[in-house]
Chain A
Amino acid sequence: MKVEFSAEQNALRKELRAYFEALMTPELKAECDESMGEGGGPLWREALKQMGRDGWIGVGWPKELGGRGMSPIEQFIFVEEVMRAGYPFPFLTTESVGPQLAEHGNEWQKREIVPKILAGECLIAIGYSEPGAGTDLASLKTSAVRDGDGWLINGQKMWTSLAHFCDYVWLACRTDPDAAKPHKGISMFLVPTNDPGWSCSPVVTLGGVRTNATYYDNIRVNDDALVGEENAGWKLITSQLNRERLSLVNFGPTAEMFNNVVRWAQQTDLPEGGKIIDQAWVQINLAKVRAGVEALKLVCYKQAWAMTEGQLDMADASAAKVYGSEFFIEVYRLLGEVIGQASLINRRTPGADPIASRIERLYRTASIITFGGGTNEIQRDIISAAGLWMPRASR
Chain B
Amino acid sequence: MDFGLSEQQRDVQNLAREILGEQVTAEKLAKYDSYAAERFDRELWQQVAQAGLLGVAIEEQYGGMGFGFFEAALIAEEVGRNIAPLPFISHCISAAMPVQQFGSAEQKQSLLPGVVSGEQLLTAALMEANNEDPTQPRLCSAQAGGEAVLVSGEKLCVPFAEQADYLLLAATDGDGAVVVMLPRKAEGVVLEAMEVTTYEPQYRLTLSNVRVGAENILARGEQAQQLLASVAEHTAAALCAHQLGASDKAMRMTASYTAERQQFGVPIATFQAVGHRAANCFIDVECLRLNCYQAISRLDDGVDASVEVAIAKVWAGDVGHRVSYAAQHLHGGTGIDRDYPLWRYCTWLRHNEMMLGSSARNLAALGSKIAAGEAFCA
On whether the beta carbons of B4 and A309 are closer than 8 Å, the reply is yes
| B15 in contact (CB, < 8 A) | no
On whether the beta carbons of B283 and A377 are closer than 8 Å, the reply is no
- Assuming the contacts A258-B377, A277-B371, asked whether A3 and B3 have C-beta atoms less than 8 A apart, the reply is yes
Interface string of B261-305 (1 = CB under 8 A from A): 000001101111011101110110011001101100110010100
In this complex, which of B9, B269, B286 has the most chain A Cβ atoms within 10 angstroms of its Cβ? Answer: B286
On whether the beta carbons of A255 and B371 are closer than 8 Å, the reply is no
On whether the beta carbons of A287 and B366 are closer than 8 Å, the reply is yes
Chain A residue with the shortest CB-CB distance to B365:
A287
Pick from A4, A256, A377, A381: contact of B1, CB under 8 Å = A4
| B315 in contact (CB, < 8 A) | yes
Pick from B255, B270, B298: contact of A388, CB under 8 Å = B255
> Can you list 27 A-B contacts with CB-CB less than 8 angstroms, sorted by A residue number?
A1-B3, A255-B378, A262-B370, A262-B376, A278-B371, A283-B367, A284-B367, A287-B363, A290-B377, A291-B363, A294-B294, A294-B377, A295-B290, A295-B311, A295-B315, A304-B1, A319-B283, A380-B275, A380-B280, A381-B279, A384-B255, A384-B269, A384-B275, A384-B276, A387-B279, A388-B279, A389-B256
- Assuming the contacts A1-B6, A380-B275, asked whether A302 and B252 have C-beta atoms less than 8 A apart, the reply is no
Q: What residues of chain A lie closer than 8 Å to B1, measured between beta carbons?
A: 2-6, 9, 73, 301, 304-305
| A204 in contact (CB, < 8 A) | no
State A280–B371 Cα separation when bound (angstroms): 10
Residues of chain A from 126 to 164 with CB closer than 8 A to chain B in the complex: none
**Residues of A within 8 A of B (CB-CB), count:** 58
On whether the beta carbons of B287 and A295 are closer than 8 Å, the reply is yes
On whether the beta carbons of B364 and A291 are closer than 8 Å, the reply is no
Q: How far is the CB of A205 from chain B (nearest CB, A)?
A: 26
Q: How far is the CB of A325 from chain B (nearest CB, A)?
A: 11
On whether the beta carbons of A384 and B279 are closer than 8 Å, the reply is yes
- Assuming the contacts A258-B377, A286-B367, A319-B283, asked whether A291 and B303 have C-beta atoms less than 8 A apart, the reply is no
State A142–B3 Cα separation when bound (angstroms): 42
Q: How far is the CB of B56 from chain A (nearest CB, A)?
A: 15
Q: What residues of chain B lie closer than 8 Å to A201, measured between beta carbons?
A: none
Q: How far is the CB of B81 from chain A (nearest CB, A)?
A: 16
On whether the beta carbons of B271 and A393 are closer than 8 Å, the reply is yes
A interface with B by C-beta (< 8 Å): 1-6, 9, 13, 73, 255-256, 258-259, 262, 265-266, 277-278, 280, 282-284, 286-288, 290-291, 293-295, 297-299, 301-302, 304-306, 309, 315-316, 319, 322-323, 377, 379-381, 383-385, 387-393
On whether the beta carbons of A1 and B255 are closer than 8 Å, the reply is no
Q: A262-B373, A291-B366, A381-B276 are in contact. List 8 more A-B contacts (CB 8 A).
A: A2-B2, A3-B293, A277-B371, A287-B314, A287-B366, A381-B272, A391-B267, A392-B270
On whether the beta carbons of A305 and B258 are closer than 8 Å, the reply is no
On whether the beta carbons of B377 and A1 are closer than 8 Å, the reply is no
Pick from B9, B272, B377: contact of A259, CB under 8 Å = B377
On whether the beta carbons of A383 and B283 are closer than 8 Å, the reply is yes
| B166 in contact (CB, < 8 A) | no
State A309–B5 Cα separation when bound (angstroms): 13
| B70 in contact (CB, < 8 A) | yes
Interface SS majority for chain B: helix
Pick from B252, B275, B283, B375: contact of A290, CB under 8 Å = B375
| B154 in contact (CB, < 8 A) | no
Q: What residues of chain A lie closer than 8 Å to B272, measured between beta carbons?
A: 377, 380-381, 392-393
On whether the beta carbons of B279 and A1 are closer than 8 Å, the reply is no
- Assuming the contacts A306-B3, A377-B276, A388-B278, asked whether A291 and B315 have C-beta atoms less than 8 A apart, the reply is yes
State A266–B293 Cα separation when bound (angstroms): 31
| B251 in contact (CB, < 8 A) | yes
Q: What residues of chain A lie closer than 8 Å to B266, measured between beta carbons?
A: 393
Q: What residues of chain A lie closer than 8 Å to B290, measured between beta carbons?
A: 3, 295, 298-299, 302
Q: What residues of chain B lie closer than 8 Å to A288, measured between beta carbons?
A: 363
Q: What residues of chain A lie closer than 8 Å to B378, measured between beta carbons?
A: 13, 255
Q: How far is the CB of B250 from chain A (nearest CB, A)?
A: 12
State A349–B41 Cα separation when bound (angstroms): 69
On whether the beta carbons of A294 and B308 are closer than 8 Å, the reply is yes
On whether the beta carbons of A323 and B287 are closer than 8 Å, the reply is yes
On whether the beta carbons of B259 and A391 are closer than 8 Å, the reply is yes
State A290–B213 Cα separation when bound (angstroms): 45
| B109 in contact (CB, < 8 A) | no
Q: How far is the CB of B28 from chain A (nearest CB, A)?
A: 27
| B101 in contact (CB, < 8 A) | no
Pick from B259, B270, B279, B293: contact of A380, CB under 8 Å = B279
State A370–B159 Cα separation when bound (angstroms): 45
Q: What residues of chain A lie closer than 8 Å to B197, measured between beta carbons?
A: none
Q: What residues of chain A lie closer than 8 Å to B267, measured between beta carbons?
A: 391
| B34 in contact (CB, < 8 A) | no
Pick from A266, A287, A316, A387: contact of B367, CB under 8 Å = A287
